[in-house]
Structure 1
Amino acid sequence: MAALVLVAAPGAATADTTIDGPIDLGTAAPFGVLGASAVTNTGLTVINGDVGVSPETSITGFPPGVINGDVHATDEIAAQAQADLTTAYNTAAGLTPMASGLGDLTDASLVPGVYAGGELSLTGSLTLEGTAESVWIFQAASTLTIGAGSNIIMAGEASVCNVFWQVGTSATIRSGAQFVGTVMANVSVTALTTASVEGRLLARTGAVTLDTNLITAPTECDTPPGTVTSSPEITSGSPTAGQVGTDYTYTITASGTPTPTYTVTEGSLPPGLTLDSTTGVISGRPTTAGTYTVTVVASNEASPDAVASYDIVIGAAAVAAPLPGTGAAELAESGGATGMWPLAAFAAVVAGGMLALRRRPARGVNA
């Protein structure tokens, strides 16, 4: 069989979402099997862990199957476990893979990380080697198929507590397979005759179907759930233009967890404007016209930072046009360049004066 080829996921130019520990399953953690529409068993299946279903009620095949745990059929515990499963599923689906484009995992030996593919499958052996804190998360966009007799080998101190399979549709574990990890299927999970699972079979919207299986939910999982971080990505467009003497405001926005902060790293803002590092708001009253090029970095605890360069254009102050007939003093107060009268206003004043002179009688002249 050809060796597995890992394709690196897109890197520095895009935002990355990472987790520094296992997926948090919340109240779904004690369940060996959790379905949405039904849990159905044939044969002498043994489940070491809780069994639940929600929102439907059907759990059948026990006996002859054996449940070494609690049973929760459409109660509050099962409903909350389904809600927590949805949260965990979305968390796993939202992580940025370190390798993508995977298919058949047979004969691969994988270091801890997030791995993605369309239809993931296993027809032989898969080795996962690491420490007790190492985490493996597999993202299958559509199906997961574990072939008959396939097995997953945990090497070193690697723990079954920290292996997760997020499946976009349904998962099938075929006869005699020895499977490891928590399956979080968007639809359904099927385990065929004599397949064994060290982990959990959890279905969000469909059924879990069993046939003479051994399922053991992990216990004593000491590594605390991881914290999800996502690197910033600036989502706002170009800043609006401003004008000298006029209040200005523009908000730079960026996605990311934790919430990013903002810093000017190159260039300078227009005089009179400042950047709020917490909110990303550029505000103030510009004092000098011109075009100002500035580089802003959005950063948080996740890498890489987001960088954007802007040209902020500040126009000259507006000059109000004088009304016809405005006198010299009034014109000067309104911002006229020299305080001179406009020609039309001067002509109107002169014409008015001449008319008054014609109407005034001459002094010292007898009628």
Structure 2
Amino acid sequence: MKARSQKRTAVMAGLLAAVCIAALISASPVGAADPPIGLGTANSYAVLAGSTVTNTGPSVINGDLGLSPGSAVTGFPPGLVNDFQHIEDVEALQAKIDLVTAYDDAAGRTPATSVATELGGTTLLPGVYTGATLGITGTLTLDAGGDAAAVFIIKTDSTLITATDSAVNLINGANPCNVFWQVSSSATLGTRTAFQGTILAFTSISADMGATVEGRLLARNGAVTLDNNVINRPECA
């Protein structure tokens, strides 16, 4: 009888422990993902600049084009903007305010994993990454691991420069809506680069001949310079 009572007590204790463990697991975040950078009204822009927007050749912009506080937009035509142009108006001013907020959010994201200057030939999983200066020669792969909501935030203390014919390749559900590049200086996309994600540059952004972007070129203070490019703003929730 005594042995049966002890057995019953042990079983009850085991069940109680299991319930407590389950409660702790359900109350604790497991591998909480990084939230995306909120762009506010800048979300509708494929190109947004501070000083000038200059285009050469038949570039195509699928998304809004904006400029504030500058007023010089040249090269359209032959360039084509398939949505709205906001040049030094209320909409452009608000988009620039929202860009500053987004830039500061991206710059402040921590913890960040340090990466080497050369990203070409490497694969990154979702997360926040940082480097003194960043470049891509060849292909950088961003692997979402099957999570369509996975977020990539890649930050540089200086410049971002891609070589000719370089690419950013998204696999396993990675979405250009959730890829953000925070550039503390200026970004240059080399000839025929196939780029993915939103660039948030403190100064300027240049896209060389034939470079394509599935994302946005958002320059906080300087110019956006285009040369026979296609910029597709992705449809993001």
What TM-score does the superposition give when structure 1 sets the normalisation length?
0.55
Match of 1:182 in 2: 198
Q: 1:19 deviation in Å?
A: 7.1
Identity of aligned residues (%): 50
Indicate if the aligned counterparts of 1:102 and 1:115 stay in contact, CA closer than 8 A: no
Indicate if the aligned counterparts of 1:27 and 1:84 stay in contact, CA closer than 8 A: yes
Match of 1:72 in 2: 86
Q: Hey, which of these two has a bigger chunk of strand by percent?
A: 1
Counterparts of 1:181 and 1:101, CA distance in 2: 18
Match of 1:117 among 128, 131, 138: 131
Matched, 1:141 2:153: no
Q: Secondary structure, in 3 states, of the residue corresponding to 1:96?
A: coil
Match of 1:59 among 70, 73, 88: 73
Indicate if the aligned counterparts of 2:164 and 2:190 stay in contact, CA closer than 8 A: yes
Q: Hey, which of these two has a bigger chunk of helix by percent?
A: 2
Indicate if the aligned counterparts of 1:199 and 1:215 stay in contact, CA closer than 8 A: yes
Counterparts of 1:44 and 1:187, CA distance in 2: 25
Deviations 1:68-111, CA, capped at 9 Å, x for gaps: 11000000110010110000000000111431143110111111
Indicate if the aligned counterparts of 1:40 and 1:60 stay in contact, CA closer than 8 A: yes
Equivalent position amino acid for 2:89 in 1: D
Q: 1:150 to 1:122 in 2, by over 3 A?
A: same
Q: Secondary structure, in 3 states, of the residue corresponding to 1:104?
A: coil
Counterparts of 2:151 and 2:104, CA distance in 1: 17
Matched, 1:158 2:169: no
Deviations 1:287-321, CA, capped at 9 Å, x for gaps: xxxxxxxxxxxxxxxxxxxxxxxxxxxxxxxxxxx
Match of 2:210 among 186, 191, 194: 194
Counterparts of 1:40 and 1:81, CA distance in 2: 19
Q: Secondary structure, in 3 states, of the residue corresponding to 2:92?
A: helix
Counterparts of 2:149 and 2:176, CA distance in 1: 10
Match of 2:105 among 91, 97, 102: 91
Match of 1:167 in 2: 183
Counterparts of 1:169 and 1:98, CA distance in 2: 19
Counterparts of 1:146 and 1:29, CA distance in 2: 24
What TM-score does the superposition give when structure 2 sets the normalisation length?
0.84
Aligned pairs, number: 204
Q: Secondary structure, in 3 states, of the residue corresponding to 1:80?
A: helix
Counterparts of 1:162 and 1:217, CA distance in 2: 12
Structure 1: which 5+ residue stretches go unaligned? 1-17, 223-367
Equivalent position amino acid for 1:79 in 2: L
Deviations 1:219-247, CA, capped at 9 Å, x for gaps: 1x23xxxxxxxxxxxxxxxxxxxxxxxxx
Equivalent position amino acid for 1:117 in 2: G
Following superposition, which runs of at least 4 residues in structure 1 exceed 4 angstroms of deviation? Answer: none
Equivalent position amino acid for 1:92 in 2: A
Match of 2:121 in 1: 107
Q: CA RMSD in A?
A: 1.1
